[in-house]
Amino acid sequence: MRVLGVDPGLTRCGIGVVEGVAGRPLTMLGVGVVRTPPDGDLGSRLVAVEQGIEAWLDEHRPERVAVERVFSQHNVRTVMGTAQASAVAVLCASRRGIPVALHTPSEVKAAVTGSGRADKAQVGAMVTRLLRLAAMPKPADAADALALAICHIWRAPATSRLQQAEAAARAARPARLPGGGTTVRKVIP
């Protein structure tokens, strides 16, 4: 499976492409950052992010795109830019029919380091080791994008098993009554 990870941002949008399957050594196919000038107007920055991501999709033709899920807990201004850059990434992939998965920062950290509260240095160190790189990818946004791609490859089998289990549970669930209640079957021994 070839996955393009995106750590969304307007000033620095990290991109990392990883190929492999869970349980086997992974290969990095590319890593980089799409940058736009902080003093540029929003429109030209979004257009530059779109052009950058399109170029990466053209070059690597990933089967999946993994984007960091944005939360609003942090700095308001930063979060707006992140949400807008992530929208562009999701749009570019979906327009091509490439399935998009969103992973939270703690899911990504837990996947590559074993801890959902790992710091940037720890994530960077594990990405370097897992992809057998000579040096840690810089800046952190680039390393984070690779971590997202690794997370997606490793979580894919679990996600698929979960979806199967949910589908099986839906099929086995007792029929809902019109009033919104469910049929309850009491098992009398």
Residue ranges in contact with a second copy by CB under 8 A? 41-44, 46-47, 50, 70-72, 76, 79-80, 83-88, 90-91, 93-95, 99-100, 102
Catalytic residue among 39, 50, 68, 107: 68
Complex with a second copy: residue 4 or 118, whichever CB lies closer:
4
Q: How many other C-beta atoms lie within 10 A of the C-beta of residue 76?
A: 7
- Quick check: helix, strand or coil at residue 175? coil
Complex with a second copy: residue 94 or 115, whichever CB lies closer:
94
Bridge partners, residue 7, by sequence: 14
Complex with a second copy: residue 71 or 132, whichever CB lies closer:
71
CA pair distance 167, 32, nearest whole angstrom: 38
Q: How far is the CB of 127 from a second copy (least distance, A)?
A: 26
Q: How far is the CB of 67 from a second copy (least distance, A)?
A: 9
Is 19 an active-site residue? Answer: no
Residues in the chain: 189
- In Å, what is the CA distance from 74 to each residue of 6, 43, 70, 107, 138? 19, 23, 10, 17, 23
End-to-end Cα separation, the chain, in angstroms: 50
Complex with a second copy: residue 84 or 128, whichever CB lies closer:
84
Q: How many other C-beta atoms lie within 10 A of the C-beta of residue 138?
A: 11
For the record, the structure tokens of 166 come out as 């949910």
Q: 7 a known binding residue?
A: yes
Is 141 an active-site residue? Answer: yes
Catalytic residue among 7, 41, 59, 107: 7
Is 41 an active-site residue? Answer: no
Q: How many other C-beta atoms lie within 10 A of the C-beta of residue 139?
A: 14
Q: How far is the CB of 23 from a second copy (least distance, A)?
A: 28
Catalytic residue among 59, 107, 141, 166: 141
Q: Which residues are annotated as a binding site?
A: 7, 68, 141
Tell me the catalytic residues: 7, 68, 141
